[in-house]
Structure 1
Amino acid sequence: MASNTPTPRFAEGEDPRQLGSDTAALQQQGWALDAEGMGVTKTFYFKSYFKAVSFVNLIASESSVKKHHPTMTVRFGSVDVHWTTHNPRGLTTKDIAMARHCDNGAGLMGCVESGQGLKCGPEK
């Protein structure tokens, strides 16, 4: 029976032992490997749209400095973040470092648990 769980695919030149350990640590923090195993992804939840957008700006600022950019999807009360490296293709230490930056920034921006974030629609 084949497993549907992706295995990490590290970029050429990376230390698979160290990066494997770092990836496992990220997974303990709620990050998941993408379907190809070449990146990591996580959804962050916020109680206001402004906080979600502020979180995106925090990531954008650091991304500009590091010259490493994620794919992000902003929703009303959440932000999906996906880190991968395109050249060389695969998971790298840059992805791990930026994912950690996201976790730290999410705490500063008031990230909440899934289900506690802002919902679109009338208040009850």
Structure 2
Amino acid sequence: MRHFRGRYSQADIERIRRERESDFRRWVIDYIGGQIHFIQHLRGAESVQVLGEIEAVDFNATHCIVRVANLRQRNRDRLESWRTLPWKEVALEIRFVSRLEHRWGHLGFEYADMDSPLRLDSCRVVLRPKGDSAISPA
């Protein structure tokens, strides 16, 4: 958030962060039953995309928990076939949302995945509504 420092006070930055979190909490509910698509920022042999279905969304005081099922993965650069991951369901804790975008029915944001079994590190996440077949896992 370096570019904000010159134009915004610390109070403004906190207000913007709270507004983003509020927007995210309001919008994410609409994507239950839809797809979640993780696109890893790293490139190369180990860089992957992960696709799953959003089963549920829960909130607590500090973050959002998104339950994702039917996880599939493929290499980002080679665009090989999707392979099923071994977990039936994964709960992802989304603590801070940056670069939140809500366009064309999709909700996108930056995410740092450090604690989940997916181990994606830094990635772009796009939520797609139920029935949106822009990305097919097959």
- TM-score, normalised to structure 2's length? 0.32
Greater relative contact order: 1 or 2 (C-alpha under 8 angstroms, separation 6 or more)?
1
- TM-score, normalised to structure 1's length? 0.34
